[in-house]
A and B are shown apart, each in its own frame.
Chain A
Amino acid sequence: MKAAEFLYERPASVAEALALLADEDRDATPLAGGQSLMPMMNFRLAQPGTLVDLSALEDLRGITLSDGMVRIGAMTRYVELVRSGVVADHAPLLAMALPHIAHAAVRNRGTIGGSVALADPAAEMPALLLALDAQITVQSAEGTTTHGATDFFLGMYETALEEGELVSEIAIPVAAPTDRFAFYELARRHGDYAMAGVAVARRDNAHRVAFFSISDRALRAFDAEEVLDKGGSVIDAVAALAELPYSGDLNAAIPTKKHLSGVVLTRALEAL
């Protein structure tokens, strides 16, 4: 299918982009890599009045290290993360998960900020950021705000982003040598959206366990984290997943999601 009619703008600066997004008459939607938004537009699930293409905003690209954080510009493409030595050395959980995020042709265009802003419940990146205790910086015409990942993903395609705001940067604490990370997903075809997936981080014996594709959003399994923090077994950690707010999808009903959550957590913990 083809996208419905819209108007297209490719601003040359972040300020110009923010002004376009703040213009209520335009019904504007930002276009990052387009690898999720374009399909949604082709299906007519999204019909923006104006598409604000962010691809010329070089200020929003790049991967740097500062103040103990790996700082990633929102318009940084997945392929740049794949090739980044900084990511490989200092954000190993991302490096581990990147090959599972879509296919090479999609990683060539898709951006980290686009995935974060869209908050697809089946996407890997929101769960990765939850496990990593990442900070998400958003900009608007009024200024800059930083959210913790745990407070950012609110529901299905719903985030703390407000009208007229743009995700500008994702900051991830640099991994210490003693930190341990694991990632596991079950997908029908490599690179497809998972039927269930999990990202796990262990830092100073504190665990963060974040699931995707099992609920209406990426979410942390706080009960399982507590079990693991206290030195509980894998079986106990899996048992602690029972109360998560599961939701089914086209691939699997809730009982299957529950089962698969236990499977992916078990495999991730075995690899930790």
Chain B
Amino acid sequence: MTDTQTISVTVNGETASAAVPVRQNLVDFLRNTLGLTGSHVGCEHGVCGACTLEVDGAMVRGCLMLAVQADGAKVTTIEGYGDRAAALRAAFIDRNALQCGYCTPGMLASALEYVEGGGGADRAAIREHLSGNYCRCTGYQSIVDAVCDVIEGESS
């Protein structure tokens, strides 16, 4: 019974061990302790999606999971997607889907799950899947365009 616990997490392929306050959320641990500042912090109550990242293969809200809950898990952030997200990265750039870039790490995490899950180039379905991510620049059209480009590119 303690308010600090030592965790061991594999983040972007590298194992990290650290003593974390149990009240610390996962995204703060990644940013403040590991220096992985790619995942952004927005609303801190699960609404905006800026902190969306991957834990054990599923995208989650980094602000709604405690760092201590990630003990033993595999975490992937925007810094660690590598080739998996190469097509999406290129399409986001081609379509000017980044704009200010604040939502981009979360958008990319959500889009990647959609694309890797076999989602089709169906704009309504893409919008529904990305509906949990706010873009402060309201750049949704170009983000959906980018996701469609990747799916159509891969299917042709």
Asked if A5 and B23 make an inter-chain contact with CB atoms under 8 angstroms apart, the answer reads yes
Q: Does B77 sit within 8 A of A, measured CB to CB?
A: no
Chain A, interface size category, equals 20 to 34
B residues near A4, Cβ cutoff 8 Å: 23
- Chain B residues with CB under 8 Å of A43's CB are 45
B132 touches A2 (CB 8 A): no
B 52-69 contacts with A by CB, 8 A: 52, 58-61, 63-66, 68-69
Q: Is chain B's binding surface mostly helix, strand, loop or mixed?
A: mixed
Task: Choose one: B23, B24, B25, B64; the contact of A109 (CB below 8 Å).
Answer: B64
A206 to B152, alpha carbons, bound, how many Å? Answer: 48
- Closest A residue to B61 by CB, please name it: A105
Q: Beyond A105-B52, A106-B46, is A8–B131 a contact (Cβ under 8 Å)?
A: no
How many inter-chain residue pairs (CB < 8 Å) link A and B? Answer: 95
Known A-B contacts A2-B25, A6-B23, A7-B2; the reply to A104 vs B61 at CB < 8 A is no
Stretch at the interface among A32-40, A87-95, A118-126, A165-173: A32-40
Asked if B90 CB lies within 8 Å of chain A CBs, one says: no
- Closest chain B residue to A191, Cβ basis: B131
Q: Does A190 contact B (CB under 8 A)?
A: yes
Which B residues lie at the A interface, using CB under 8 A? Answer: 1-3, 5, 22-25, 28, 44-47, 49, 52, 58-61, 63-66, 68-69, 109-110, 113, 127-129, 131-133
4 interchain residue pairs of minimum CB distance: A103-B132, A39-B45, A8-B22, A190-B131
